[in-house]
Structure 1
Amino acid sequence: MNFTEKENYNFNDLVEIVKILRAPDGCPWDREQTHKSIRSNFIEETYEAVEAIDTDDLDLLKEELGDVLLQVAMHAEIESEQGTFDINDVCDGICKKLIIRHPHVFADVKADTTEKVLKNWDAIKMKTKSQKTQTQAIL
């Protein structure tokens, strides 16, 4: 294993740690996990992050967001091992979605109120997802 401990870690370190955990000489439990076996963990960590928001506990929120991020990294690594996509593809997809859905920031569309932003967002989402009805959630 080629890993150096640090005082501070970043996103790339997380991705590397997950790869090490799932490697043949890594952690037996982590290697066995599938999307379905850690599905409930993903839900639980999301609920815990929401609880931290609801209780205004920023230290807990920081911790729980890390747990949610771990879940994303694990699911992406599982697919990376299958050759379907990796964490960079996940990041690429969300970046492209944010750019497309914010033409008032990244292009020449005018939207100077939240109402206009949400109207544009819904229209773009309906067009890009071929939806026939609007949703109120962003993303």
Structure 2
Amino acid sequence: MHTFDDLIGIIAELRSDHGCPWDKEQTFESLKKCLADEAQEVFEAVDNKDMENLCEELGDVLLQVVLYSQIAKEAGAFTIDDVIDGISEKMVRRHPHVFGDIEVNSPEEALALWKEIKLQEKAKKP
């Protein structure tokens, strides 16, 4: 069974000097349609309650995330580790009712708290 690290290595190899010509020429812009198409295929699998296809399509979305991250790494912008760290930090920060001492009593309260924290974060950005 392959691991997440295996996938990162596979994508790096595909983009290497001796990798795949198609993968090597991809850019953030050229991959936009691919990501949108894969997301749509996830929606269709959910709508069809097709768990086997959903698993495959989520893999395709993950591929896009890793590929985008590899391109960013090559450009010196960020890495997949930065993506993972950023989303982990965000999940902890936006769930103080799980990782802190705030209490919520319903999904609606949790969503309202999420939105409030998100607005505060956006207000702090330059």
Q: Look up the match of 1:24.
A: 17
TM-score by length of 2: 0.95
**Among residues 103, 109, 116, which one is paired with 1:116 in the alignment?**
109
Q: Look up the match of 1:85.
A: 78
> How far has the Cα of 1:112 moved from its partner?
2.2
Q: Which runs of 5+ in 1 are unaligned?
A: 1-7, 132-139
* CA deviation string 1:18-42 (max 9, x = no partner): 0000011111111110011111011
Amino acid at match of 2:119: M
Cα distance in 1 between the residues matched to 2:119 and 2:38: 29
Q: Look up the match of 1:64.
A: 57
Residue 35 of structure 2 corresponds to residue 39 of structure 1: no
Q: Look up the match of 2:121.
A: 128
* CA deviation string 1:36-64 (max 9, x = no partner): 11110110000001100000000000000
Q: How many residues align?
A: 124
Residue 100 of structure 2 corresponds to residue 102 of structure 1: no
The structure with the largest helix share of the pair is 2
Cα distance in 2 between the residues matched to 1:43 and 1:31: 20
Cα distance in 1 between the residues matched to 2:105 and 2:99: 14
TM-score by length of 1: 0.87
Q: Which has the higher contact order (CA 8 A, sep 6+)?
A: 2
Local SS of the residue matching 1:71: helix
* CA deviation string 1:67-91 (max 9, x = no partner): 0000000000000001110100000
Runs (4+) of structure 1 exceeding 3 A deviation are none
Cα distance in 2 between the residues matched to 1:92 and 1:112: 28
Cα distance in 1 between the residues matched to 2:6 and 2:27: 21
- Between the aligned residues of both structures, percent identity stands at 45
Local SS of the residue matching 1:84: coil
